[in-house]
C-alpha cells in the first residue's frame, strides 16, 4: 500500500474581541474578594505576555463558545471560496477546555457548520497536545487515503474558569475561617497565563497549484505519564499521594468552596521536569531520523512563558541539538498562551508572513504539563 504525501494548504485563526493589555486583565476576569491580585504582576513579569484575547465582555459575560470560535476558524480556511467547505471529509478538533463534558467538542463545532456535509468528526482530549493529536489524526487519515481533505483545529476558551466568580466562594470561606483570604498560588497563577482563541489547518493530499504549501514530513508524540505524576489538572484536586480526586467525588458545596473547577498547576513539578524531558525526547527523535539541528530553518516551540525560553535553549545545547535564537519563531507576547491552539497560531503567522522559501524546514515542539506529554512535527515548505 502506497501512502500519500500530506500538505497543509491553508491556515486560519479566530481571535475573539480586541487584544487585552496586562493592565486590563482584571477588568475582564474580575477581582477576587474585590481586591487586586498580589501575584498578577509577578507572573506577568516572568511570562512576557503583553496582550491576550478573552471571549468575554468587561462584565464577564461570554461572547463566544469554544465551539463557535473553532467553527469560525474552520470557515476562514475557505474564505476565498466558501463553497469548497462542502468538500471537507473530516473534522478533527483538539481542545483542553470544551464547553461541556458531552457531546464532544468536535461535534459541537460541526453543529456550527451547517454548510458542511455529513463527515467524520473526532475530538482528541488532553491539554496543549490535544491540538497536535487532532493534527496527527487528520494527517494519518489523508496519508492513508481514507480522506482527501481534512480540517484540524486547536482551540481554547479558558476565560470561563478564570473569572473571579469561580474563586469567590473559596475566598469567602477562608475569610470566615479567619485564614489567609488569598487563593493558593497554583490556582491563581494560571489566571495570568491563559488566553482564548482558535486556529485551523486545511490538510490535503495535493499541494496548492499556486502559492506555498507545507508538506507534513512526520509527527511524533511521547508521554511520560508512566514515570511522572500529575502536574496540571482541572475539575479535580490533587491528593497527598499524587493521585487526583475527581469532581464527581466532591459534594456540590465542596466544588464551590474549594474552587474544584479551576485549573491548577504544580509549579515546582513543572519547572523541574517539563524542559529536561522534552529535550531528551527531541534528541532521541533526531537520532532515529538522522536529523541535525542545522537542517532546521524555523523552530516553533510552544512555551507558556518567556521563563522557559532560555531553559529550552540550554537543554537542547546540552543534548547536542542546539538551535540559535535567530531560527526561533514565537508569538506568545501578542497572542498569549492559547494551549492547544498555540502551535497552530505560530504556524499560521509564519505561513502568511511572506518569509518562507521553498525547501525550508519548520520544527514544531509542543509540551504538555498535564502529566508530561510532548508532540513534535517537521514541515517542509514546498
Q: Strand pairing partners for 237?
A: 245
Q: What is the structure's pLDDT at 181?
A: 42
Grid cell for residue 17: 474581541
Q: How much is the pLDDT for 174?
A: 45
Burial 38-48 (b: 16+ CB within 10 A, else e): eebeebbeebe
pTM: 0.95
Task: Judge whether 7-213 and 217-222+266-381 match in fold.
Answer: yes
- Over the chain (382 residues), the average pLDDT of each successive run of 10 is 94 98 95 85 90 96 98 98 97 98 97 98 96 98 98 97 78 50 63 96 98 98 97 95 96 90 90 94 94 96 94 89 94 97 98 98 98 98 98
C-alpha span between 46 and 210 (Å, rounded)? 42
Fold of 217-222+266-381: Peroxisomal Thiolase; Chain A, domain 1 (3.40.47)
Residue 225 and residue 228: Cα distance in Å, rounded?
Answer: 5
**Domain map (residue ranges) of the chain:** 7-213, 217-222+266-381
Angstrom distance (rounded) from CA 192 to CA 49: 9
Task: Say what the pLDDT of residue 170 is.
Answer: 56
Residue 38: what pLDDT? 82
Q: What are the residues whose beta carbons fall under 8 Å from the beta carbon of 200, sequence distance 6 or more? A: 11, 12, 13, 70, 73, 74, 76, 77, 151, 152, 153, 344
Question: What CA–CA distance (Å, rounded) separates 373 from 278?
Answer: 8
Q: What's the CA gap between 65 and 42, in Å, rounded?
A: 30
Confidence (pLDDT) at 81:
95
CATH number for domain 7-213, candidates 3.40.47.10, 3.40.50.300, 3.40.50.1260, 1.20.5.510: 3.40.47.10
The Cα–Cα gap between 125 and 122 comes to: 10
Residues 6+ apart with CB under 8 A from 267: 185, 186, 189
Amino acid at each position: 500500500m502506497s501512502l500519500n504525501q500530506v500538505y497543509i494548504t491553508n491556515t486560519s485563526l479566530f481571535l475573539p474581541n480586541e487584544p487585552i493589555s496586562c493592565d486590563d486583565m482584571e477588568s475582564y476576569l474580575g477581582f477576587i474578594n474585590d481586591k487586586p491580585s498580589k501575584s498578577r504582576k509577578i507572573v506577568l513579569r516572568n511570562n512576557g505576555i503583553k496582550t491576550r484575547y478573552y471571549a468575554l465582555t468587561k462584565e464577564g459575560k461570554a461572547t463566544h463558545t469554544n465551539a463557535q470560535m473553532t467553527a469560525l476558524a474552520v470557515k476562514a480556511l475557505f474564505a476565498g471560496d466558501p463553497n469548497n467547505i462542502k468538500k471537507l471529509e473530516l473534522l478533527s478538533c483538539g481542545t483542553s477546555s470544551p464547553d461541556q463534558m458531552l457531546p464532544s467538542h468536535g461535534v459541537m463545532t460541526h453543529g456550527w457548520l451547517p454548510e458542511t456535509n455529513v463527515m467524520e468528526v473526532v475530538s482528541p482530549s488532553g491539554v496543549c497536545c490535544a491540538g497536535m493529536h487532532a493534527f496527527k489524526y487528520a494527517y494519518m487519515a489523508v496519508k492513508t487515503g481514507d480522506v482527501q481533505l481534512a480540517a484540524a483545529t486547536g482551540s481554547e476558551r479558558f476565560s470561563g474558569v478564570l473569572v473571579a466568580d469561580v474563586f469567590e466562594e473559596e475566598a469567602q470561606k477562608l475569610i470566615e475561617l479567619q485564614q489567609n483570604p488569598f487563593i493558593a498560588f497554583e490556582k491563581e497563577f494560571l489566571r495570568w497565563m491563559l488566553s482564548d482563541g482558535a486556529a485551523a489547518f486545511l490538510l490535503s493530499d495535493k499541494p496548492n497549484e499556486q502559492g506555498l504549501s507545507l508538506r507534513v514530513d512526520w509527527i511524533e508524540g511521547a508521554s511520560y505519564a508512566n514515570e511522572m505524576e500529575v502536574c496540571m489538572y482541572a475539575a479535580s484536586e490533587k491528593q497527598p499521594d499524587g493521585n487526583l480526586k475527581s469532581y464527581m467525588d466532591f459534594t456540590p458545596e465542596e466544588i464551590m468552596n474549594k474552587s474544584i473547577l479551576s485549573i491548577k498547576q504544580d509549579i515546582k513539578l513543572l519547572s523541574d521536569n517539563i524542559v529536561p524531558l522534552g529535550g531528551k525526547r527531541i534528541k532521541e527523535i533526531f537520532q532515529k531520523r538522522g536529523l541535525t539541528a542545522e537542517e532546521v530553518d524555523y523552530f516553533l516551540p510552544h512555551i507558556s512563558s518567556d521563563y522557559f525560553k532560555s531553559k529550552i535553549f540550554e537543554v537542547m545545547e546540552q543534548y547536542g541539538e542546539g538551535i540559535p535564537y535567530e531560527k526561533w519563531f514565537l508569538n506568545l507576547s501578542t497572542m498569549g498562551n492559547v494551549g492547544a491552539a498555540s502551535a497552530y497560531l505560530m504556524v499560521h503567522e509564519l505561513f502568511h508572513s511572506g518569509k518562507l522559501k521553498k525547501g525550508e524546514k519548520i520544527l514544531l515542539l509542543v509540551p504538555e504539563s498535564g502529566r508530561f506529554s510532548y508532540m513534535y512535527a517537521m514541515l517542509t515548505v514546498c
